[in-house]
Amino acid sequence: MKSIIKYFAEIFHGVIALVQGMRVTGYYFFHPKTIVTQQYPENRATLKMFENFKGEVIMPHNEKNEHKCTACGICEMNCPNGSIEILSKMVVQEDGKKKKVLEKHIYHLGMCTFCNLCVKTCPSNAIVMGNDFEHAVFNRAKLTKVLNQPGSILMKGVE
């Protein structure tokens, strides 16, 4: 007798859950959202990406062509698949102290998983996620960029 009551109780709870789900679906069926589907690629000129969209890693430069990167290498260490390479050198300053200087900040876009770990862990906020998303190329070498140069100049011959 208890198993029959348990059986019908489970059916009753299943029907209640189904009705609750259908109530949510019915609400959105009769109250459609005002967001319209983007007609990409026809609307390329007017297309606006969301603020939190992660397209690619970029390094902003100011008007004097300077960036904030200190070549600490934390972004390279936190990248889970090695899509960032930091090449640095030690330079002796005028006062005799040695300082680490960034030579190249190489970013392999084709290997990037867009996890944003490099941006979150950068202590100097030198890199950010951009909104560019069109990266289709026929040559994989074109997806390797040097970020510390203005305009993210592509590396030639780097695979």
pTM passes above 0.75: no
- In this prediction, residues 35-58 reach a mean pLDDT of 83
Residue 43 included in any domain: no
In this prediction, residues 18-38 reach a mean pLDDT of 83
In this prediction, residues 42-54 reach a mean pLDDT of: 84
Residue 66 and residue 21 share a domain: no
Amino acid 157: pLDDT: 41
- Tell me what the mean pLDDT of segment 120-145 comes to: 91
pLDDT band (50, 70, 90) for residue 156: very low
| 115 plus 67 within the same structural domain | yes
75 and 9 assigned to the same domain: no
Residue 154 has pLDDT above 90, yes or no: no
* Structural domain span for residue 31: 1-35
Residue 85: predicted pLDDT: 95
In a shared domain, residues 5 and 76: no
Q: Does the residue 50 lie in any domain?
A: no
- Is residue 32 scored above 90 in pLDDT? no
16 domain-assigned:
yes
The pLDDT tens digits of the residues spanning 52-111 come to: 888 899 999 888 888 999 999 999 999 999 999 999 999 998 898 999 999 999 999 999
Q: Locate 29 and state its tokens.
A: 């069926």
- Quick check: is 158 in a domain? no
In a domain, 123, yes or no: yes
- Does 19 share its domain with 67? no
Count up the domains in the chain and report the number.
2
Average pLDDT on 27-46 reads: 80
Cα separation, 6 vs 12, whole angstroms: 10
Give pLDDT, residue 35.
66
